[in-house]
Amino acid sequence: MIWSFITFIVRKFDPETAHQISLNALKFGIHPRLKFIKIPTRINNLIFKNILGVAAGFDKNAEVIKNIHFLNFGFTEVGTITPLPQYGNAKPRVFRLEDDEAIINRNGFNNLGMNQAKIKLEKYRKEFPVGGDFIMGINIGPNKDSPDRFRDYEVLSENLAKFADYITINISSPNTPNLREFHNKELLGKVIKSVKKGISNSESSLMQLPIFLKIAPDISNENLETIVHTANKLKITGLIISNTTIDRNETLKSKNSIEIGGLSGKPLFYKSTTILCLANKIIKQNNYKLYLIAAGGVSDAKTTYAKILCGADLVQLYSSMTFKGPLIADNIIRGLLELMKRDKVKAIEDVRGISHNPEEAMQIASKGLNFSIGNKK
């Protein structure tokens, strides 16, 4: 009850101030300390003790890594980190859509830059070395005014690889001009090769450091196929589906829906999950070994379950913490275990990717596997 009240009070502040209050609370230990619940999964050599993680954007400057796990998350992703410090776009740049449980942001990769991140990451890794129980990914992106964005990706991966359990290449923020052009086959290949070169030149002992590519939901089916084939050809680990959308659903109720930027939260669920389903289908049809991390519209146990049913190996959230508070991961994991128990699912792998679309997945999440099987008879 107390955490719901605190969340309510914090939301009275403007979104960026509220976000900073949340970060400060975590830094100073003002947060729940929850009993950790395991729903393990494995991606190559990484063992995630819990399938739910914090998406990039929450901890841009790697400030609160060691306290996130107290909230029952199994992993976190810091960043997006750019080579040089960057203020980002002019304020106000983050807008709540209260009636829609959504957020629009046009931050523009605001962060303190690579060198400041390295200081914090070095300190964290002295206490919690790479390969520990709590997995940490590092999300990287270029500076807005960079003369060579490929070089930015290389420099970032070279300098940050030794601190990471995995690296995420961000090519999908709608708030950095022309960034989404890297979804193009030729440019995408060059970006991935730049990151791989950086890792090979780094001090990291993990030459096979997992690499994920975070993509936009606003792409064609043909573009998605190209991305999946390129990811497989260049042997990266997988995709994160997806970043925010520039589309605006006509059912949005909040006045802030007219703001420019990337939309996240509940209205993104079906769009991002449709892309997830299609990516899973392409991977299966071609017998590729690519893993999928799902983000976009995750707000409770049912939406989390639906993402897994549509092919997700792991699930991330961020925006829903704004509305649900610091107990959200605990509530989701407990709820997910109840759904698994209802459906007699012993391991999450047993139902991963069995749905063909988000509508079917949500029907199963709401009414159970027996309902789905009964409908197919």
Region 310-334: what's the mean pLDDT?
A: 92
pLDDT, tens digit (0-9, with 9 covering 90-100), for 213-239 = 999 999 999 999 999 999 999 999 999
Give start and end residues of each alpha helix (H) in 242-291: 269-285
Residue 157 a catalytic site member: no
- pLDDT, residue 332, reads 95
Average pLDDT score over residue span 325-340: 92
Q: Find the length of the chain.
A: 377
The CATH number of the domain holding residue 368 is 3.20.20.70
Q: What is the DSSP string of 250-318?
A: TT--SGGGGSSSEEEEGGGHHHHHHHHHHHHHHHHHTT---EEEE-SS--SHHHHHHHHHTT-SEEEES
Its pTM stands at 0.94
Residue 5 pLDDT > 50: no
Which residue shows structure tokens 């050809």? Answer: 233
For residue 371, the model assigns a pLDDT of 65
Tell me which residue range forms the domain holding 6: 2-376
The pLDDT mean for the chain works out to: 91
CA distance 311 to 141: 26
SS3 93: coil
Which residues are CB-contacts of 287 (< 8 A; sequence separation ≥ 6)?
Answer: none
- Answer for the pair 292, 312: CB distance below 8 angstroms, yes or no: yes
Exactly one of 146, 173, 264, 272 is catalytic; which is it? 173
Q: How many domains does the chain have?
A: 1
